[in-house]
Structure 1
Amino acid sequence: MGTTLETTLETTPHAGDKQFAGSIKTSDPAPQGVGTFKYRLSLNGTPIGWLGKGGSQSMWAFVVPDVNDAVILQWYAYGGANYLTIPGVGYMTWSGGLSGNPVAFNTWAYANGWKEEGSLLIAVDSGAPLSVYRSDVPWLYANPSYSVVGVTRNNV
């Protein structure tokens, strides 16, 4: 187990004052997505809410209870990978430089490929599924050691 600060950031990445940390993954111009949808989230088959964003810099992915607070996403293919974006806001990625690998929405330079496998959403580069640290902590991660979150796409 790490220090108290590391543990705090692991359970509340949105509360830290650190900038997003991670390597630049793309350098070409951002492509345009098609279609729009929201993700309904579940834990062990039980619905827990929807994929939303917030926290410091309003960039961190977390579980929101109300569909009206869920982010609207688009899938698109580019350079042999599939990406997720909130149109006009940012691209879904995960921060390998912060404890637990929290999921965030950042610029195209940090965009990460994702894939759906059944009800799982998986980061292509790490193979880690979308997950939660604990059921009472709403922040989302790309961490295979945490509890895996299921996703169901709901078109809007």
Structure 2
Amino acid sequence: MSVADVFNRRVRGFRVVEVVGLGILLSLVTSVYLAKTFAGSERQEIGRIEQEIEQEGVRKRLLEAEVAHLEQPRRIEQLAQMMQLQPIAADHEIAEDALIDVARRRELPRAPVTAEPVAADALAADGPEALPDDVPPPPPAAPAQSPAGGVR
């Protein structure tokens, strides 16, 4: 069979080359249509995400403006005067690194035990879950006294 026979051979009145070419053309048209359809859905998704980003940017700017308003020194000073707060004494100041030790030494008030069970949702809304570092250590034992009445 020669190359000329492939181009001239007919099946039901159509040349084989024409049938193969039509099949390739149909597959290309279908693949282009599917690619454009998927690209359109992706384009919609990208537009939705860009709109969400823009909304979050607006929300961020509003929150920054609110923080700037709440942190105004004049406003804080007025609140402090209204609540009759005084400046912190120098002997009550502490470094940031020592805050954990102070929190561990301080005895936290315990909530009274109630007979009613509390829903788990209500507990979760009150605050964060306690971590092992958040639990205060037991209070130190009182120093023992010698028989003479002095401290050993």
Normalised by the shorter chain, which TM-score bucket?
Answer: under 0.3
Provide TM-score, normalisation by structure 1. 0.15
Q: Which gives a bigger RCO, structure 1 or 2 (Cα 8 Å, sep 6+)?
A: 1
Q: Whose strand fraction is larger, Structure 1's or Structure 2's? A: 1
* Higher share of residues assigned helix: 2
Normalising by structure 2, we get a TM-score of 0.15
